[in-house]
Amino acid sequence: MKNELAEKDIKFSVNYTPSKIYIENEKQLDELINDVTKHFEAQIFSDSNIPEAKDARAQLNKYIKILEDRRKEIKKDFKQPLDDFEKVMKGYVNRLGVLSEKINLSVKDYEEEQKAIRLEKIQWEMAKLAEQFNVEANVIEVHSNWLTKASFTAKGEVRPKVIDEIKDKIKIIAMERERVAADKATIADYAEIAGLDPYAWANMIDQGWSVADIREKIKAAVEEKRVRMLEAERKRAAEDEYQAAMKELERSNAVETNTGLIDPDTGEIIENSLGTSNNMPTTETYEEKQELITATLQLTGTVEQMQALNNFIVGNGIQVVPVE
């Protein structure tokens, strides 16, 4: 509803007379100031007449105070009508300002409500389009210009132009996700063929790596793995060759007995009569001949030691005959 109070009705007139301030005896005052100035400028003050200098200063300050007090008195009287006028006008402005702010708050509340309604409609359109492309409804940010009144029709519907903008942004997100999924599948297959963990390599796509760069890294990893395997195989072969050489050396220096091949220095059985190696030591030293050796010994030890010795003798087929 339009207020009957028109702009022209609040116009008002103010009667005031611009005043002129003038000094009635300004000529005489000017001459007096000139005389005082000349009087004190002609005097010379030094250490010898400091008291006179202080008296001159006091006299000048007295003149200055008389002039300043009168100036301030005239200024106050001259400004008083203007101050009274400003006080009245500011009172009117403040009364209207309070009312204007109250109305402004109501307008803001209304605009926020309308903005919330428009946001709900925008989000509904986003949800529909997101479902079409199989993505989440909040994949894109709501632009502030979509929430303006200009983005909606007179009936409050979202304009087709805005819907197209939303659709384009969601489509870009969906296409990017499809690309990422395809690149991940490509890298996973490539890594699996190369014998590497497919998931670890595929996740590099999420870190911003391109398919080409990841494939080069996979090639480098495969080559590094091949070199490690070759080095491990070389070390294993060298170790086997070393063990075989040492075994052959032991066999060449061994003494053959009825129980097998014996190391002549340590008495260690290198290979028993069954053709298998045995590293358990013997209690006797063998000479390089085929006949049996008989030795008579008196042994002293604990029960556990004697039991262990008995197990060794039985295990190695050594003949034992009791001696009275």
Q: What is the mean pLDDT of each run of 10 residues along the chain (324 residues)?
A: 59 78 87 88 80 87 92 90 91 92 94 94 93 88 92 93 94 92 92 88 90 91 89 90 80 65 65 54 44 68 68 68 58
pLDDT value, residue 324? 53
Closest CA to 263 of 252, 273, 274: 252
Q: From CA 297, how far away is CA 192, in angstroms rounded? A: 69
Q: CA 285 → CA 265, 266, 278, 288, 311, distances in Å?
A: 8, 8, 16, 10, 19
Question: How many structural domains compose the chain?
Answer: 1
* Domain assignment of residue 238, yes or no: no
pLDDT value, residue 166? 94
* Domain assignment of residue 177, yes or no: no
Amino acid code (one letter) for 208: G
* Domain assignment of residue 69, yes or no: no
Contacts 24+ apart (CB under 8 A), 277-280: 278/316, 280/312, 280/315, 280/316
pLDDT value, residue 266? 65
DSSP label at 274?
T
Q: From CA 290, how far away is CA 117, in angstroms rounded? A: 111
Q: In what order do the strands lie in the sheet with 269-272?
A: 255-257, 260-262, 269-272
Q: From CA 147, how far away is CA 119, in angstroms rounded? A: 6
Q: From CA 43, how far away is CA 57, in angstroms rounded? A: 12
For 84-96, b where at least 16 C-beta lie within 10 A, e where not — what string?
A: eeeeeeeeeeeee
pLDDT value, residue 16? 77
pLDDT value, residue 323? 56
* Domain assignment of residue 280, yes or no: yes
* Domain assignment of residue 268, yes or no: yes
Q: Which residues span the domain enclosing 260?
A: 254-288
Kindly state the tokens that stand for 119. 């946001």
pLDDT value, residue 282? 44
pLDDT value, residue 158? 94
pLDDT value, residue 281? 45
Q: From CA 106, how far away is CA 271, in angstroms rounded? A: 107
Closest CA to 318 of 283, 289, 291, 290: 283
* Domain assignment of residue 258, yes or no: yes
How big is the chain by its Cα radius of gyration, in Å? Answer: 58
**Torsion on CA atoms 28, 34, 35, 41, rounded to nearest 10:** 170
* Domain assignment of residue 189, yes or no: no
pLDDT value, residue 241? 86
pLDDT value, residue 285? 44
* Domain assignment of residue 107, yes or no: no
Residues near 24 by beta carbon (within 8 Å), at least 6 away in sequence: none
Contact 191, 197 (CB under 8 A): yes
